Structure 1
C-alpha cells in the first residue's frame, strides 16, 4: 500500500503519528510526494478511525509530545541569537519602504512628506536608526521626544529649522560657518534620507558607487582593477563647485520627475537656505563620517550626478556603437551597435571589454563626485571623451571642473590617484624575469649583510679605542709619563691650570670632532668607524671589502638594465597579444603619505622611529590600546587586497605596535619589556606580522556583510585625536554627547585637528578633513563611545557638538 503525503505545517504532528503507526504495522514502502491538502486530511481521519489498540495510540501520543518540544527549543535558540545592528536597520528600512510604496501612483510618489515623513512611526524608526548608528541598544533608555508633535509641526509647516540647529565658527576666521542639526532636526533628516534612498536606489546607474548597497569603496576599486584591466589611457575628473541656487533648482526639478510633493521640496529648499545641507562638489571627504558631510548630502549628490551617469552611457554608445566603423560588415552579420547592446545586456565577458581587438572600449567608474575614466583606443578618442564629460558638467550641471588631471598613458607605468589610492597598469613579470630578480635580491641581501658586519666590527674597535684612551688618561697624566714627544706636548697644551681630567678629555674630543668635521656624519658610530677604526686597519683588508661592495652594486645595476631591456623587448613582440594578456592593474596604498600622517599625529619622529603619543597618556588603558588598534583595523579593512600590503604589515609591527607600547611605558614609567608582558592580552588586538593572516581571515566575513548604504559614514570613518580635558562645571551633570545616549559623561575631551587635505586626498587611516570650527571643541563622551569612535564603530556624525549650548 502506498500513502501519498503532502507535508503541511498544520498537519505536521498528525503525519508523524501516522508514520509511526505505519512503521509499527509493517506497511512499506512509503512514498512522500506533493499531493493535495484535502486528500491527506481525509487519509489522516480514516487512519485514526481504523486504529484499534490503546497501546499504539499511547505510543503515538508520546512520540508526538516528544516532537512537540523541538519547535520550542528551536524558537528559544532563535531568540537567543544576537541580531546585528545591520539586520535591525534593514528591518526598519523595510517598514518605511512599505509606507513609501503605498504612495506610488501613476508613475510617481505622492505626498511623501505628509503621509510618510511626517508620521510618528516613521520618525520613531528614524530615531532608532540614529541610535543604531551610535551603537546603542534599542532597549536602553531613550530621549524624551514627542514624535507626534514633531509630525504635526512638519505637516503645518511650523517646524523651525534655525531653532533646531547650531551655527559654529572657527576661532581663526569667521567666514566659514558650520551648521549642525540638533536631535529633532537630525531625526527628520534621517527620515528624509531613508525615503530618498528607497525611491532612487533602484534607478541608479551601474557605474555609480558610494552610499549604495553592494556598491561601496571596495566594489569601485575591484571594478577598476579586475574589469578594466587593459586600458590605453586613463584620467580622473575633479569637480569644484558649492551648491548654489541654480544647482538646487536643477536638483529639485530632477526629483520632481519621480516625486510629486511641493511640501517636501520646500522643506529641502529651507534646509539649503539655512546651510544645514552642505553639498560641495570636489571637496567631499568620501566615507569618513565627518559632520560637514550631512546625512542628506550623499544621496542628493548621487541623485544629481545620476544625470552625468546617463550622459556617460550615451557617450559610450556614440564611441563604441556608433563610431566611424559602425557600418554593417559583409553579409550583414556584424554590427558595432548590435554587439555593443549585447555587451551591455550580458556582463559575463566583462574582463574582455578593453583591448580585445574589437575597437574602442570606454569604461567609467564614479564614486560620489570622483570620476575615473579608462579608454582603450587612441589619445584623440580619450581627449574627445574628456571634453564631452567636462562640457556636460559645466554647461548642463553648472559644475566647474578643475583642468588639472592630464590624460595619462597607462602602458608606461603611470600612476592615477583614485579614491585615495594609487592605481597603475604594469606588465606582469614572466618566470625568467622573476628568477633574475630573485638572484638580484639575493646578491643585494648578501652584500648588505656583509656591510652590517663590517660596520659593527669597526664601531666596536672605535669604542674600545675610546674606552682605552679615557682609561689611560684617568690613570696617569701626560706630564707624569716622563715622555716628551711633539704630539704629547701638543696635546698637553690644551689643558689649563686646575682643569680636571674628565673635562680636559672632553675638550680634546670636541677639538678633534671639529677638526674632522664630524657634524656632517649621521651618528657617533660612523665617526668612530670612519675616522678611528678604518684608518688603523690593514690597507689590503679595507680595499678588498670596498672592492666587493662595488662589484655587488655594479652587478645589481647591470641586472636592472638588462631586465628593463628584456621587458621592453617583450612589449614590442609582433602581434603584442601575449604582452596584452600579461597587463595587470594594481592598487597600492600611499605609503609616503601614511608615514607623513604618522609623523603628524605623533606616532613616529622625523627619523621614522616610533615614539609615544602624548595626547593619549591621560586616558584609560583600554582606550589607549583601542586608538592604536582602531588604526590597524582600518588598514586591514582598506588595504588587505592591495599589492603593497606587505609594507603596511611592516608599519603595523614596527611603528604602530611599538608606539602603543611606548605610550603605555611613558604613562607608567616602566620599561617597554615589562609593559609588553603586563598588557599582553590587550596588545593582542594589534597583531604582529606573523599574526596578520589569521586576523584577516577572521575579519573577512564582517567586511563582506557591511552595507555601505546603511553604514555610510561609519564603515570608512577616519581616526581622530581626542585629548582628555579636565573641566569643572559646577552644579551641572552632562550626559554623553552622542545622539541617543543617556549615559552620564565622566570626562570631557578636546577634539584636535591635525590635517586638512585638499581634494583629492590620500587615504591614510586618519580623518583627512575636519572643519576648523571643530578644532579644540570640547565634547562629553562615555568610555564606551570613546572606544567606539576609536575603533570605527561610530563616526563624528553621531556626536551632537552643540550640546553644551543648550
Structure 2
C-alpha cells in the first residue's frame, strides 16, 4: 500500500551481535543456572564478618552466570553463544561502560541506552543483588522480586488489611537520583558487599546516565526504554532502611495492642464485645508507598505520616510532595495505588445478597427444574412399560409357536440385571414419595384384627410370627411419619443455615470492613478518548494512522492493548466494565479501522473478519489474536502475576516501511534472523501534538520522545510479539542501528 516513503538510511552492522560471543560446542549444551545454584555460588563468597567479597570477579564475571544472564534477557528459546572475551574484560577490570552506551538525541532531549553487551553484565549484576538481598527484604516490599508483583500486593491488601480507618499514599516530587543519592545507595550496598569493583561499576552506570532512577515519574516497572534493568532492585536496596523502620513501627503497635484488658471492658458483656486492636499496615511497590491504620484515631495516622515523611526526607534525602501526601478516610474516600482505586467497604458490597427479584427467579427456575424432572421420570416409566409389554408379548408368541427359545448364547443374566435395575429405581422412587407410602401404609394396616389376643391365640404361632414381622417391615419402610420427620428435619436445617448466614452477614456488616479494588474507569475512558478509540459521543470510531498497517498488524495492535488491560485489571471488583470497554469499544474500533482501510462497510468487515477478528497466515490457517467474546467472559481473578501496564503499547505504533535496504539482523536480543523488515516508530504524544506533562492521562507513562520516527529492523516473530506486548523496548537492542542522512526509498 505504501508506494513511496521518505526514511533515513539505516546503517546496521550484520555482525554487531557476535562481537563478544564465540561459539562453543560444550556451552551450546549448557543449561542456565537455577536460583539455588546461583545462591550457592554467591554464598561461597560470604565471609565471617557477615559480608560478601569479590562478587564481581568471582560471580559476575563467571561464565555460567553471564550465560544465565544472556538466557534471561534473550527473546529466543536458546542463546547458543558464550561471552569469552567479556569474561576476560570483567576479570581484568578492562570493561569500559562508556564505550557500551549509545545516545539518541532529538528535539533537545537525549536518551542513553546500553548495548547488548552491557545489558548482559547489568542482568548478571541484578541476579547477584537479588541473591544477596531478596530474602533480607521485608514482606511488604513488592516490585522487582520474583513472585512479588502488583497482583500479589493487591491480594495481600484484600486478605490482610481489615477494618482500615485512615490511610495515605506517599507522593514524591519528580526528581532523579543525584550524586548524593548515588553515594548513599553505594553506602547501603557496601554494608553487605565489600567489593570496590562491584560498587565502582554501579557508580559508572550512573555517571554514564545509562542507569537513571527517577522518583515521582510514571515509567518505573512499565517496560519503557528509559528504565534500566537495575532500577527495581537498587530502589528496593535504597528503601530497605525505610522499610525496616516501618516494620519496627508495625511490630511495636501490634505488640502494645495485642491483648484485650477485660477489666476495662467488664465481665458482664461476654461475647457481645467486638475488639478492634490498633494495627499498622504498609505496602511498597517501588516508589509507591501505602500506609494504613486499623482501629486507631486520626492523630495516630498523622503522627505516623510525620514519621514517614521525616524518614524519607532526612534519612533518604528524597523530595516528598507533602501537598498530595494527605490522609484520607478509608471508608468515605477512595485512594489511588498501583494504578487502581482502593476503598474500605462492607462485606455485603463485595458479596451482595440476592435481591428479591433474583430470589423469585431462582425459585421459578427450581420449580421448572422439578417439573421437568417429573416429566422425564414419567416419560421414562411409560417407555419402560411399553418396552416391557413388547418383550413379554414377543416371549409369549415364541412360547406358543415353539417348545422354547434356542439361542447360541445366554442372555438371561443380562435381562435379569436390566429388569433388576428398573425395579430398584421404581422402589426408590416409591419410597421417596410421602403420599404413596401413606396410602399403602393405610391400606396394609387397616382392619388389623390379627392384633386381637383372642384371635392370635387361635392361630398357629408361625403365622403370628410372620404377621408380626410383616407389620414391622411395613412400619419400617412405609410409615409416613418417619419419612415426613426426615424431610422436616432437612428443611429445618436449611432454614437454620440460612438464618445463621444472614445473622453472620449482618454482624460482619456492622463490625467489619473489607478492601474493594476498582479499576479507574474514568482514566481508562479518558485514555480511550485520547487515543481516539471513540468519538465525542462515546461510540467506536476508526483510527486513521493505523490504516497504513497490514490487516494482521492492525488486529495485533488492538489485541496487545486489550490483553494488557484485561491482565492488569483482572483483580478488580468492577472488571466487567473493563471487559465491556475491550469487547465493545476496542473490538468495534478495530473493525471500523479495517473497514476504512478496505473502503467497505462495518457489516462487510464483520462478515470477512468475523467478530473474533480472524486473520489467515500464508498457509491459509486462521489465527485469532484479539480475545474472543467467550474468552473475555471467562476471565477473572485467577492468576497472580506482575503484568505490564498498557502504557508502552497504547502510546506506540510501528508502521512497516517499503525499503530496498539490504537484509540485516533482527535487533531483538540474540535473534540471528536476517529476514527483517524496517518499522518506523510513531509515538502517540507526537502524533496528537500533546504535551505529556499537561494534557495526558494521570498516571500513564510516556515513551521517551527521542525514539519517535526511529526505524527498527525486526523479524516476523518479534514484530508479532512487539505488537502484542509480549516484548518491550527493553528486549530490543536499540544500539544495533545508526541513523544518518535522509534519502528516499
Residue 307 (structure 1) shift: 0.9
Query: Is the 2:341–2:517 Cα contact (8 Å) retained in structure 1?
Result: yes
Aligned length: 537
Q: Deviations over 1:487-517 (max 9, x none)?
A: xxxxxxxxxxxxxxxxxxxxxxxxxxxxxxx
Give the alignment of 1:402-801 within 5 angstroms. Answer: 402-403=321-322, 404-412=324-332, 414-429=333-348, 578-680=508-610, 682-683=613-614, 684-687=624-627, 689-694=629-634, 696=635, 700=638, 703-704=639-640, 708=642, 718-726=649-657, 728=659, 730=661, 732-744=662-674, 745-754=676-685, 768-801=701-734
SS at match of 2:594: helix
Contact 2:279 2:293 (C-alpha < 8 Å) held by counterparts: yes
* 1:148 equivalent in alignment to 2:88: no
Alignment of 1:311 with 2:230, yes or no, is no
Residue 248 of structure 2 aligns to a residue whose secondary structure is helix
Deviation (angstroms), 1:604:
1.5
SS at match of 2:720: helix
> Counterpart in 2 of 1:198?
131
Q: Which residue of 1 aligns with 2:185?
A: 251
- Equivalent residues of 1:622, 1:682 under 8 A apart: no
TM-score normalised by L of structure 2: 0.66
Pairwise CA distance, 1:205: 0.3
**Pick from 73, 87, 105: which aligns with 1:169?**
105
Q: Which residue is 1:119 aligned to?
A: 62
Contact 2:33 2:68 in 1 (8 A): no
Instruction: Specify every segment of 5 or more residues in structure 1 that has no aligned partner in the other structure, as ranges.
Output: 1-87, 332-354, 443-575
State the distance in 1 between where 2:722 and 2:278 align. Answer: 47
Q: C-alpha distance in 2, partners of 1:251/1:422? A: 32
Report if aligned partners of 1:753, 1:775 keep a CA contact under 8 Å in 2: no
Instruction: Please show how residues 281-360 of structure 1 align to structure 2 within 5 Å.
Output: 281-322=215-256, 357-360=275-278
Instruction: Flag the 1:775–1:580 CA change in 2: closer, same or farther, 3 A.
Output: farther
The alignment yields a C-alpha RMSD, in angstroms, of 3.4
Once the two structures are TM-superposed, the CA of residue 432 in structure 1 deviates from its matched residue by 14
Pick aligned residue for 2:287 from 361, 364, 369: 369
After TM superposition, the structure 1 = structure 2 runs for residues 79-228 of structure 1, keeping only pairs within 5 Å, are 91-106=33-48, 107-131=50-74, 134=75, 136-138=76-78, 147-171=83-107, 173-174=108-109, 177-228=110-161
**Contact 1:590-1:763 at 8 Å conserved across structures:** no
Q: Aligned in 2, Cα 1:433/1:747: closer, same or farther, shift over 3 Å?
A: closer
Distance 1:381 1:762, change over 3 A: farther
2-side partners of 1:165 and 1:378: how far apart? 53
- What is the rounded CA distance, in whole Å, between the counterparts of 1:686 and 1:146 in structure 2? 38
1:801 Cα deviation from its structure 2 partner: 2.2
Deviation at 1:425, TM superposition (A): 1.7
Preserved CA contact (<8 Å) 2:561 2:646: no
State the SS of the aligned residue for 1:773: helix
Q: Distance in 2 between matches of 1:692 and 1:644?
A: 14
Q: 1:713 to 1:129 in 2, by over 3 A?
A: farther
Give the structure with the larger helix fraction.
1
Matches within 5 A, 1:225-240: 225-240=158-173
**Residue equivalent to 1:489:** none
Q: CA deviation at 1:212?
A: 1.4
| CA offset digits 1:193-244 (Å, max 9, x no partner) | 1111111111110011112122110011122233213111111001234212
1:284-312 Cα distance to aligned partner (Å, 9 max, x none): 52431111110000000011111111010
CA separation of 1:660/1:595 partners in 2, compared to 1, >3 Å: closer, same or farther? same
Pairwise CA distance, 1:261: 0.8
* Aligned residues of 1:725 and 1:750 also touching (Cα < 8 A): no
Aligned-partner SS, 2:737: helix
CA–CA distance in structure 2, aligned partners of residues 127 and 370 of structure 1: 30
- Measure, in 2, the Cα distance between the counterparts of 1:149 and 1:430: 62
Partner in structure 2 of residue 565 of structure 1: none
Give the match for residue 386 of structure 1: 305
Residue pair 2:171, 2:288 contacting (<8 A) in 1 also: yes
Q: Give ranges in structure 2 of 5+ residues lacking alignment.
A: 1-29, 265-272, 362-505, 615-623, 740-745
Q: Is the 8 A contact 1:119 1:148 kept in 2?
A: no
Q: CA deviation at 1:652?
A: 1.6
Query: Alpha-carbon deviations, 1:466-489, whole Å to 9, x = none?
Result: xxxxxxxxxxxxxxxxxxxxxxxx
Secondary structure at the counterpart of residue 212 of structure 1: coil
Contact 2:161 2:514 in 1 (8 A): no
Q: Contact 2:516/2:573 (CA < 8 Å) preserved in 1? A: yes
Q: For residues 347-396 of structure 1, give each alpha carbon's deviation from its aligned partner in whole angstroms, at most 9, with x where no partner exists.
A: xxxxxxxx962432110111111011111210000000000011000101
User: Shift of residue 437 of structure 1?
Assistant: 9.9
Q: Do the aligned partners of 1:120 and 1:147 also contact (CA within 8 Å) in 2?
A: yes
C-alpha displacement at 1:629, in angstroms?
1.6
How many angstroms apart in 1 are the aligned matches of 2:354 and 2:72? 56
Cα 1:716–1:676, aligned 2, differ >3 Å: closer, same or farther?
Answer: same
